[in-house]
């Protein structure tokens, strides 16, 4: 077991308590950008930078935003640009009929479940579709973003 100094252990305890306090309240927000955010002394880019908070960490806001800046008190006291904070609530799961286009080059949407059928449109790789049902012949009927049929093998579960 590696040696951890008493100061490091105390710092971890403080960080864990602050994280729990930030998450417990209605005024919880999460840092959205993976690269994190800077905390400023004033609600402006010209305010001195106090420190930074890593992406995914929780912060406790103190009031509504001031010119797109939000005052925070945990884990640092200062101001963070509002656009870099998101809700602490977990994202709801995708609907059961959601699928994602997994084909590298995207997929064509056909008018009927036949390869010779007229093409209605095209959906790029990574985009989401809503299926109506999956037919037995390898086609999926979709309703969003276009109405038509796609090869079901080119779809994956939404994550």
- Report how far apart the first and last C-alpha atoms of the chain are (Å, whole number): 37
Q: What is the pLDDT of residue 87?
A: 86
CA–CA separation, 63 vs 80, rounded Å? 12
The verdict on residue 93 lying in a domain is: no
The answer to whether residues 83 and 111 belong to one domain is no
**Alpha-carbon torsion 158, 151, 129, 134, what sign?**
negative
- Domains: count for the chain: 2
Give the domain CATH number at 53: 2.30.30.40
- The residue among 65, 87, 109 that closes a domain is 87
Residue 21 tokens read as 């306090």
The answer to whether residues 81 and 31 belong to one domain is yes
Contact present, 82 and 71 (Cβ < 8 Å): no
The single residue listed with the structure tokens 């699928």 is 99
3-state DSSP of 82-149: HHHEEECCCCCCCCCCEEEECCCCCEEEECCCCCCCCEEEEECCCCEEEEEEECCCCEEEEEECCCEE
The answer to whether residues 75 and 109 belong to one domain is no
Range of the domain at 54: 6-87
Per-residue pLDDT of the chain (159 residues; tens, 9 = 90+): 334 434 444 444 444 544 444 445 578 999 988 888 999 999 999 999 999 998 889 999 988 778 899 999 999 999 999 999 988 877 678 888 899 999 999 999 999 999 999 999 999 998 889 998 766 689 999 998 899 999 999 999 887
């Amino acid at each position: 077991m590696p040696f951890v100094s008493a100061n490091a252990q105390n710092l971890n305890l403080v960080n864990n308590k602050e994280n729990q306090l930030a998450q417990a309240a209605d005024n919880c927000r999460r840092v959205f950008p993976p690269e994190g955010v800077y905390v400023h002394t004033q609600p402006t880019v010209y305010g001195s930078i106090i420190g930074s908070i890593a992406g995914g960490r929780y912060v406790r806001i103190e009031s509504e935003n001031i010119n797109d800046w939000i005052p925070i008190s945990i884990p640092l006291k200062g101001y963070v640009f509002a656009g870099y904070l998101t809700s602490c609530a977990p994202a709801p799961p995708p609907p059961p009929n959601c699928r994602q286009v997994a084909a590298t080059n995207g997929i064509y949407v056909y008018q009927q479940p036949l390869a010779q059928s007229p093409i209605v449109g095209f959906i790029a790789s990574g985009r989401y579709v809503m299926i109506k049902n999956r037919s037995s012949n390898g086609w999926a009927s979709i309703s969003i973003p276009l109405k038509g049929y796609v090869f079901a093998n080119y779809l994956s579960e939404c994550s």
